[in-house]
Amino acid sequence: MKKIIFIDDEENLLTSLKRSLRNLTEDWIPFFETDPVKAFELIEKEMPDVIVTDYKMPGMNGIELLEKSRKLNPSVKTILLSGQSENEVFEKAKKVTDNYITKPCDFDELKKTILSLF
C-alpha cells in the first residue's frame, strides 16, 4: 500500500478531497493535514510515497515543505496545488515538484495526476 499525504490549510478542501478520492483507499493509505508544520512531522514519521500540498499556507509555504521533504526522501513524488499564477511561484515549484496544478482543481484530474506518477 502506498502512502499519500494531502496538506491544505482549507479544511473544507480536505473534506471534499477525502470524499472524492475515497476509491483510492483500496491501494493507498491517505493522510490529511491542515498545518504544514504538523504535516512535516507526519512526513518524517510515515515517509509517504506522494505529497500533495497547497502553496500558500501560514507558517510554511508548500515549496518550503516540499524542499524539506525531498531532503528527507529524494524519491518522494510531489504535487503542488496553487491558486497563485505568478511565474516566480511556478519557477520555484519546478525545482521541487513532479507536477503543478492550479486551484481550483478538478479532483478527477488530481486523481489521474497522482496515478500517473507510478
CATH of the domain at 14: 3.40.50.2300
Q: Which three cell numbers stand for residue 43?
A: 512526513
**According to the model, what pLDDT value does residue 84 have?**
66
Judge whether residue 44 has pLDDT over 70.
yes
Please report the beta strands in the chain, taking only residues with DSSP state E, as ranges in sequence order: 2-7, 28-33, 50-54, 77-82, 99-102
pLDDT tens-digit readout, 53-103: 999 999 999 999 999 999 999 999 999 988 766 677 777 778 889 998 888
Whether the Cβ atoms of residue 29 and residue 63 lie closer than 8 Å to each other: no
Q: Tell me how many domains the chain contains.
A: 1
**According to the model, what pLDDT value does residue 25 have?**
63
pLDDT top residue among 22 and 86: 22
Provide, rounded to the nearest whole percent, the portion of the chain with pLDDT above 90: 59
Could you list the residue range(s) of the whole structural domain that residue 20 is in? 2-116
**According to the model, what pLDDT value does residue 118 have?**
84
**According to the model, what pLDDT value does residue 47 have?**
96
Judge whether residue 5 has pLDDT over 90.
yes
The sheet carrying 50-54 orders its strands as 28-33, 2-7, 50-54, 77-82, 99-102
pTM of the model: 0.91
